[in-house]
Structure 1
Amino acid sequence: MNKLLASISYIFHPLLMPLLGVVFYFSKTPRFVPEPVIKAKLFSIVILTIVLPILLYVLLKTLKKVKSLHLQTTEERRLPLLINCAIILLIVNRVFPLGEIPELYFFFLGILISTITCLALALIQFKASIHMIGAAGFFMFAVAVGIHFKININGSLALMFIILGAIASSRLHLKAHSPLELIMGFFVGLLPQLIILNYWM
């Protein structure tokens, strides 16, 4: 059980949540998007949200700016979060500009707002759960996609609820966060996606 709970933090790492959101959108949207475009977008997201952050993490660890992939202290979080803001800005300007696929533009805009909020909290020494931020943002976006396109995603939502609970249990078990930090992370991830719904639904 200990190994299972610990592995959940890696399986559902925040770096994967933007990619999961994009994959979910392309798998559920009734809009026609050419396959080459989908492949190009997915490739860009993998490079920018997974490969690049991992390479930057290795660099930061080499420079002794961070100690672990989970960024356990608020001091460790600040520079990676600032870099992530720049990466998300690049995505909303180049990969998913507003006039192309608005749903994904606003999804990443919500991620940017959540990241800025998390950075601001780190600056005042509060460590909101980045795992919960990523998972809650993805969850809210999935709900919005289901409502927007009027498709039944009840099974997917049930699975996401289980995953959210598993992530929270994992982070508590590892003593990486307090219940307040998990709750704050949930709302920091969910609320920006909820607030910007008015702009694309």
Structure 2
Amino acid sequence: MNTRLAQVFSVVLHPLLMPTLLLGVLFFFAPSVIGVDILSPTVRVTLLGFVSITTFVLPALTIYYLYRAKYIKSLHMQDLADRRLPYFVTALLYALSTYFFTVQLRALSEISPEIGIVLGSITVSILLVGIISLSWKISAHGVGIGGCFGAILGIAVKFSQTQLLYPLVILTVLVGLLISARLYLNAHTPLQVIAGLSLGILVSLLTVWQFV
């Protein structure tokens, strides 16, 4: 793996994109599990667009503002001090997104409360990353893709969703590529990546098993 390819994997599999990826897989491979099977594909795509705006676009713009305002030194947030404020702000934005999809969109919440549950579990993961980042540099990329993998795996096993097998296989390959990329770029130590991956998987599996 060369540097350019490692950077591409780090961007394409950025943690802020994981909620869109996760819900996209569930919307179209296991819609009955989360109650969106009664919605047309067009409505699901539109809903996924709203998820992307609240969980990717708004947090990304906020982090860019923090950079431009010199609250953080780099968008890559390589220094531990640069990671704390963005993670806590992102956790707040995700909490607001969870509130929006569970309280403001009451009709949707009654059909698919699982959307709010998934977003809530991601919020918890981000908050934990922020807390850990007060003293240690855990891999947010690992947490993000680990959460995505854990949620899909948990739903596949709990609800016998065999159609999720192919997404799981592809995601397993992506996990390996992303871990390799982060290590190749010296963004994290092996322990930091493994800790992030484990945290993401654990939180998402517990959420699926207890609340979905």
TM-score normalised by the chain length of structure 2: 0.86
1:38: how far off? 2.2
Please report the RMSD computed on the Cα atoms of aligned residues, expressed in angstroms: 1.8
Are the counterparts in 2 of residues 44 and 95 from structure 1 also a CA contact under 8 Å?
no
When structure 1 is superposed on structure 2, of 33-42 and 158-167 the one drifting more is 33-42
% identity of equivalent residues? 30
Q: Structure 1 residues 128 and 29 mapped into 2: Cα distance closer, same or farther (>3 Å)?
A: same
Aligned to 2:129: 118
Aligned to 1:8: 9
What is the aligned counterpart of 2:141 among 90, 107, 131? 131
Amino acid at match of 1:33: I
Partners in 1 of 2:38 and 2:24 — Cα distance?
13
Are the counterparts in 2 of residues 102 and 200 from structure 1 also a CA contact under 8 Å?
no
**Residues 60-118 of structure 1: CA deviation (Å, up to 9, x unaligned):** 11111223333112211111111111111112211245644232222222211111111
1:180: how far off? 0.9
**Residues 115-162 of structure 1: CA deviation (Å, up to 9, x unaligned):** 111111111x20110101000000011112223442212222121111
1:29: how far off? 2.3
When structure 1 is superposed on structure 2, of 107-116 and 63-72 the one drifting more is 63-72
**Residues 19-49 of structure 1: CA deviation (Å, up to 9, x unaligned):** 0011111002243232364244212212111
Amino acid at match of 2:126: T
Pair 1:77 & 2:83 matched: yes
Partners in 1 of 2:59 and 2:203 — Cα distance?
22
Aligned to 1:33: 38
DSSP 3-state at the match of 2:171? helix
Aligned to 2:154: 144
Partners in 2 of 1:49 and 1:174 — Cα distance?
26
When structure 1 is superposed on structure 2, of 172-181 and 190-199 the one drifting more is 190-199
Partners in 2 of 1:25 and 1:188 — Cα distance?
21
Aligned to 2:61: 55
When structure 1 is superposed on structure 2, of 39-48 and 128-137 the one drifting more is 39-48
Partners in 2 of 1:88 and 1:99 — Cα distance?
20
Partners in 2 of 1:176 and 1:13 — Cα distance?
13
Pair 1:87 & 2:89 matched: no
DSSP 3-state at the match of 2:133? helix
When structure 1 is superposed on structure 2, of 4-13 and 165-174 the one drifting more is 4-13
Amino acid at match of 2:145: A
1:52: how far off? 1.0
User: When the two structures are aligned, how many residues end up with a matched partner?
Assistant: 200
Unaligned runs of 5+ in 2: 104-108
